[in-house]
Amino acid sequence: MTINETITLSNGVRMPLLGLGVFQMKQGGEVLNAVRAALEAGYRHIDTAEGYRNEEEVGQALAESGVPRSEVWVTTKLSNDRQGYETTKAACEDSLRKLRLDQVDLYLMHWPFDETMADTWRAMQELRDEGKCRAIGVSNFSVKRFEFFFTLTDEAPAVNQVELHPFNYRPDLLELHRAKGIATEAYSPLTRAQRFDDPTLVALAEKHGKTPAQILIRWDLQHGIVTIPKSSHKERIIENADVYDFALEDEEVTQLDGLAQDYWAITWRPDPDGWY
């Protein structure tokens, strides 16, 4: 496995397994430097969102990088307050303009909202058919939310981006993804650095001569899960991609799976009413 490893989405498009997440990075240099460092380190995948308010600087960094557009995967996400048919179309155009692109590789519905889901999805399907995005997907969808989604449409999203790491490993959701041909993408894959002191993680890191962050990223990669660790620091961006010179044993992957304890790194849980 190398940094160029991809998975093939249900529509045949190949998506790089490792990307840089840019949530909470501010414009005015932080995003520019991080995306630049990531591209220099060999990343070919950037994950942003309209809601992160940094699409312009992602676009600037990509334009200035000299890396051919065809070699970089760009994901952005539809903001919650723009869900609905017309508003989704307009939001996608705005994102493309800010990113200085004719097409994004992946356009995600950032959060599920039942009331607007059907119209939003129909607009996203049309955007994909018009070539504004190569693939369309969802984010923060639980098993129950998918049950509702599939009462509205027969077409499965290409991707579901959810919080995922060993501490909230969710085999039921992954099984649904497998059954429906949905690629799994892990956000907050490093637990936002909240669980680096876990004894199992520390022991595996010591054994392999790696850091806890690298063990967590390797766990995703060996599961075939797309992973988008965020760092604003060049040395950590490089560290997070330095995961191709070792492998976890199968039983070590299983050991990490066993850390599941419904632990959430994000500050507010999607669907606190019990969808998850």
Task: Count CB atoms within 10 A of the CB of residue 11.
Answer: 12
Nearest distance in Å: CB 9, ligand NDP: 17
Nearest distance in Å: CB 142, ligand NDP: 13
Residue nearer to ligand NDP on the CB measure, 193 or 202 = 193
The vertex-159 CA angle with 155 and 161, nearest 5°, equals: 135
For 243-256, b/e burial (b = at least 16 CB within 10 A) is: beeeebeeebbebb
Q: Which helix (H) or strand (E) holds 213?
A: helix 212-223
CB closest to ligand NDP, residue no: 21
Nearest distance in Å: CB 96, ligand NDP: 18
For 189-222, b/e burial (b = at least 16 CB within 10 A) is: bbbbbebbebebbeebbeebebbbbbbbbbbbbb
The type of residue at 77 is: K
Task: Count CB atoms within 10 A of the CB of residue 129.
Answer: 10
What is the SS3 string spanning 142-183? CHHHHHHHCCCCCCCCCEEEEECCHHHCCHHHHHHHHHHCCE
User: Residue for token digits 């060999």?
Assistant: 42
Nearest distance in Å: CB 33, ligand NDP: 11
Residue nearer to ligand NDP on the CB measure, 9 or 58 = 58
Residue nearer to ligand NDP on the CB measure, 170 or 192 = 192
CA distance 234 to 89: 35
Number of residues that make up the chain: 276
Q: Which residues bind ligand NDP (CB under 6 A)?
A: 21-23, 47, 110, 139-140, 161, 187-193, 211, 213, 228-233, 236, 239-240, 266
Nearest distance in Å: CB 24, ligand NDP: 6
Nearest distance in Å: CB 80, ligand NDP: 10
Catalytic residues: 52
User: Residue for token digits 């699409």?
Assistant: 55
Residue nearer to ligand NDP on the CB measure, 129 or 144 = 144
Residue nearer to ligand NDP on the CB measure, 83 or 211 = 211
Residue nearer to ligand NDP on the CB measure, 52 or 132 = 52
CA distance 177 to 10: 11
